[in-house]
């Protein structure tokens, strides 16, 4: 009912780019997002310039663009890892700016998964301990954590014998799969991945992307990932191209 109100209609008409699926509230709503950094000489650098971006639940969207175009900045702001200079970010109906640090940390823990280019696994923890980290913070009992992690590893094709290895004893592809398992295991609403295939050979990267898309189709988890790899862009269902901190193209495919 409220989905067809004049208010929500005009709100979606006012936004450029793909409209959210009719009747479905956006999962991510970034409005007039500006991020200005200071460089070493204290000269302001505009990383994002009035970006309006929305993502509907279930999207599998790539954010592409040359190095320095603002991809990482946009993902960090959507994930609440950094604050905008101006503009707002609403995720799952929650305004990130209205939350305290603790509320934001809890919100991230329960709703978001992060996959980083450099994997960011904790070196002193085993593959399993890394992957179960969010479940540990959520207070999930040990035997359940173990079950969930083992299931996730199986699903991602991570060999059983690797679960007690530390990251240094894993290949790049294996580390990235552990990082994906860590992001997935608590079943977040949204996974933010910053150049997830950047350190992988193209075959491993392609396989990983197919796995992510498969998970997206099976579980409905929304994926938002940055890339400048054509192989990754090809596999996205929506491709947003940033140029100089602005959305230059926004293209929905099949």
Ligand X SMILES: Nc1ncnc2c1ncn2[C@@H]1O[C@H](COP(=O)(O)OP(=O)(O)O)[C@@H](O)[C@H]1O
Residue ranges binding ligand X (CB under 6 A): 37, 39, 45, 47, 65, 67-73
Measured from the CB atom, the residue of 98 and 118 that comes closer to ligand X is: 118
Query: Binding of Mg ion at residue 73 (CB under 5 A)?
Result: no
Residue 107, both tokens? 């919100």
From the list Mg ion, ligand X, none, pick the one residue 7 interacts with, judged by a Cβ distance below 5 to 8 Å according to partner type: none
Nearest approach in angstroms of CB 108 to ligand X is: 19
Q: In what order do the strands lie in the sheet with 190-194?
A: 112-115, 190-194, 222-227, 60-64, 238-243, 246-252
From the list Mg ion, ligand X, none, pick the one residue 37 interacts with, judged by a Cβ distance below 5 to 8 Å according to partner type: ligand X
Residue selected from 61, 72, 175, 186 as contacting Mg ion according to rule CB under 5 A: 72
From the list ligand X, Mg ion, none, pick the one residue 186 interacts with, judged by a Cβ distance below 5 to 8 Å according to partner type: none
CA distances 60 to 48, 160, 199, 236, 247, Å, are 22, 29, 21, 6, 17
Instruction: Give 218: exposed, middle or buried? Use CB within 10 Å, 0-12, 13-18, 19+.
Output: exposed
* Spatial CB neighbours of 148, under 8 Å, sequence gap ≥ 6: 132, 135, 140, 185
Nearest approach in angstroms of CB 251 to ligand X is: 18
Nearest approach in angstroms of CB 193 to ligand X is: 12
Nearest approach in angstroms of CB 14 to ligand X is: 26
Nearest approach in angstroms of CB 63 to Mg ion is: 10
- Distance of alpha carbon 224 from alpha carbon 54, whole angstroms: 11
Nearest approach in angstroms of CB 181 to ligand X is: 24
- Distance of alpha carbon 158 from alpha carbon 108, whole angstroms: 26
Measured from the CB atom, the residue of 35 and 145 that comes closer to Mg ion is: 35
From the list ligand X, Mg ion, none, pick the one residue 174 interacts with, judged by a Cβ distance below 5 to 8 Å according to partner type: none
Nearest of 59, 48, 74 to residue 191 by alpha carbon = 59
Measured from the CB atom, the residue of 65 and 113 that comes closer to ligand X is: 65
- Please list, residue by residue across 137-167, b when 16 or more beta carbons sit within 10 angstroms of its beta carbon and e when fewer do: eeebeeeebeebbbebbebbebeeebbebeb
Site residues for Mg ion per CB under 5 A = 71-72
């Amino acid at each position: 009912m409220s989905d067809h109100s004049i208010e929500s209609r005009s709100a979606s008409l006012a936004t450029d780019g793909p409209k959210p699926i009719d009747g479905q509230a956006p999962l991510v709503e970034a409005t007039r997002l500006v991020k200005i950094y200071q460089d070493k000489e204290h000269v302001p650098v505009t990383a994002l310039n009035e970006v309006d971006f929305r993502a509907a639940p279930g999207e599998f969207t790539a954010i592409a663009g040359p190095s320095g175009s603002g991809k990482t900045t946009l993902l960090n702001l959507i994930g609440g890892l950094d604050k905008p200079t101006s503009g707002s970010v609403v995720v799952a109906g929650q305004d990130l700016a209205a939350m305290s640090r603790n509320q934001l940390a809890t919100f991230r823990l329960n709703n978001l998964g992060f996959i980083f280019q450099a994997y960011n696994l904790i070196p002193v923890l085993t593959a399993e301990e890394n992957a179960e980290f969010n479940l540990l913070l959520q207070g999930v009992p040990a035997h359940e954590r173990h079950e969930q992690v083992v299931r996730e590893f199986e699903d991602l094709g991570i060999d059983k014998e690797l679960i007690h290895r530390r990251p240094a004893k894993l290949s790049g592809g294996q580390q990235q799969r552990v990082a994906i398992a860590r992001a997935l295991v608590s079943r977040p609403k949204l996974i933010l991945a910053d150049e997830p295939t950047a350190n992988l050979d193209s075959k491993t990267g392609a396989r990983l992307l197919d796995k992510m898309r498969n998970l997206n189709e099976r579980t409905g988890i929304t994926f938002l990932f940055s890339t400048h790899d054509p192989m990754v862009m090809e596999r996205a269902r929506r491709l947003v191209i940033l140029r100089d901190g602005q959305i230059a193209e926004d293209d929905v495919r099949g």
